[in-house]
Amino acid sequence: MNAEQQTESAIEAAKKAYWTANISVVLVLMGIWFLFGCVLSIFAVDALNKIRLGGFPLGFWMAQQGTTIAFIFVTLVYVLIMKRLDVRYLAQCGKKPSEEPTTDA
């Protein structure tokens, strides 16, 4: 195996690791969103309704605003995590984060 083939192999391994990390992040964040969107606002509504917030039951707030706030939070966390992953895996491919990505057709 020559140096070019080793480099190609390392880049392919980095790409695979990047997508594995990406999918892991997405699954965890979607699980968090599911927790807020379904579990707290649908299944745990009776327990949450015992707590009052602004004169309304907390279950109402979770169903109305909680899922939207959780979605915005999840989106922001995804952006921050993916920026870190981009820097890490671009370095493994021998590229700087400021370089324009190339499209492999």
Q: 80-102: per-residue pLDDT in tens? A: 999 999 888 887 777 776 655 55
Q: Which of 8-22, 54-68, 85-99 has the highest mean pLDDT?
A: 8-22
Which residues pair with residue 56 across a beta bridge?
53
Q: Where are the domains of the chain?
A: 3-92
Q: 67-82: per-residue pLDDT in tens? A: 888 899 999 999 999 9
**Is the per-residue pLDDT at 103 higher than 60?**
no
Please, what is the Cα angle at 104 between 101 and 105, to 5 degrees? 140
The residue that leads in pLDDT, 82 or 56, is 82
